[in-house]
Chain A
Amino acid sequence: MVTLNHYLIVSGMLFAIGLTGVIARRSILVIYMCLELMLSAANLTLVAFSRFHLVDGLPDYNAQALVFFTITVAAAEVAVGLAIIVALFRAKHSVDVEAAGKLKG
């Protein structure tokens, strides 16, 4: 049978995959995609807990409201982030994160 633990493990694995991508990849676009993956993993955890914590016989809709806000903020973040990537590409002609190491000193 599928328990809450199953959902938590799937969510944790999805988060771990995203984390690996953020650390291992160097293309800033793929790093952004992996960030989206990690945000979605957090959303899955929230929805799973919402379903298993009943309030007055219904799932806890506060958690689903939080998921709604997360998705909205993530969409705004992607829009701004991609504009920054385009600006970076114009300046450096590369999307490699190591091309933007000027602040390293």
Chain B
Amino acid sequence: MPAAFFYIFSAITLLFGVMVVVCRNPVASALSLVVSFAGLAALFVSLDAYFIGTIQILVYAGAVMVLFLFIIMLLDIKAEEHRQPNALAIVGGIALAVIFVGQLGYIVSQHEFGNRTTADVPILFDKAAQVQKLETIKSDLRAGVLPDTKLVGQTLFQRYGFQIQLVGALLLAGTVGVVILSKREVK
């Protein structure tokens, strides 16, 4: 991916991320977050993580944000618009963020590993095709295509089978919890 695209999409991600924090209206915040996540998904795609980029759009920008907007509309929130913001908290928050980014910039400038581009670590299709066992993945790799979704699926179901079951149980518990929380109390 050309460097210009990286800068455009990171600018979109960061700019709309700032809009989430700055906007007084929660609906504007939520819509900014959708655009920010779309930019982030483009960054994932630039790192050859097509599957992660797709579920970022589907789950975050789609499902989660619809839930947010739904709740905002349901509660009909307008109260914050004529309230004075807490100046101390704002100054503290910005100072903490600046310190954090400064520290990160210093650490990142110190180590050598980070100075490589994606061109320096190219995906080795021939080598990968020899190691992989599944025929469908092998033929994709021989054709020079990265079978991203197949490889993520293989990792998830071969190595993390138990954890997949655990996450399923968590989602079930979450669903039951939401139903119980949302039910009106019976007196």
Which A residues are within 8 Å of any B CB, using their own CB? Answer: 1-10, 12-27, 29-30, 32-34, 36-37, 40, 43-44, 47-48, 50-52, 54, 56-59, 61-62, 64-65, 67-69, 71-80, 82-87, 89, 94-96
Contact = CB atoms under 8 A, between A and B. Distances in A.
14 contacts: A2-B6, A24-B85, A24-B86, A37-B36, A43-B52, A47-B49, A47-B52, A54-B121, A54-B124, A56-B131, A59-B123, A78-B67, A83-B181, A83-B182
Q: Chain A CB within 10 Å — which of B37, B75, B160 has the most?
A: B75
Nearest to B104: A12
Q: How large is the interface on B (under 10, 10 to 19, 20 to 34, 35 or more residues)?
A: 35 or more
B33 A36 contact: yes
B67 A61 contact: no
A25 B186 CA distance: 35
Given A15-B100, A69-B163, 8 more contacts: A21-B21, A24-B92, A52-B113, A58-B124, A65-B156, A69-B160, A71-B56, A95-B79
A37 B177 contact: no
B167 A30 contact: no
B118 A51 contact: yes
Nearest to B9: A10
A90 B167 CA distance: 30
Contacts of A62: 155, 159
Nearest to A57: B124
Interface string B80-121: 100101100110111011101100110011000111111101
Contact of B108 (A5, A57, A87): A5
A14 B14 contact: yes
A23 B89 contact: yes
B71 A29 contact: yes
Interface in B111-158: 113-119, 121, 123-128, 131-132, 146, 151-152, 154-156
B123 A33 contact: no
Contact of A79 (B6, B55, B178): B178
Q: Which 3 A-B pairs have the closest CB atoms?
A: A57-B124, A23-B93, A16-B97
A36 B33 CA distance: 9
B64 A40 contact: no
- Which interface residue of A6, A15, A64, A71 has the most chain B CB atoms within 10 A? A64
Nearest to B79: A94
A96 B79 contact: yes
B177 A83 contact: yes
A95 B101 contact: no
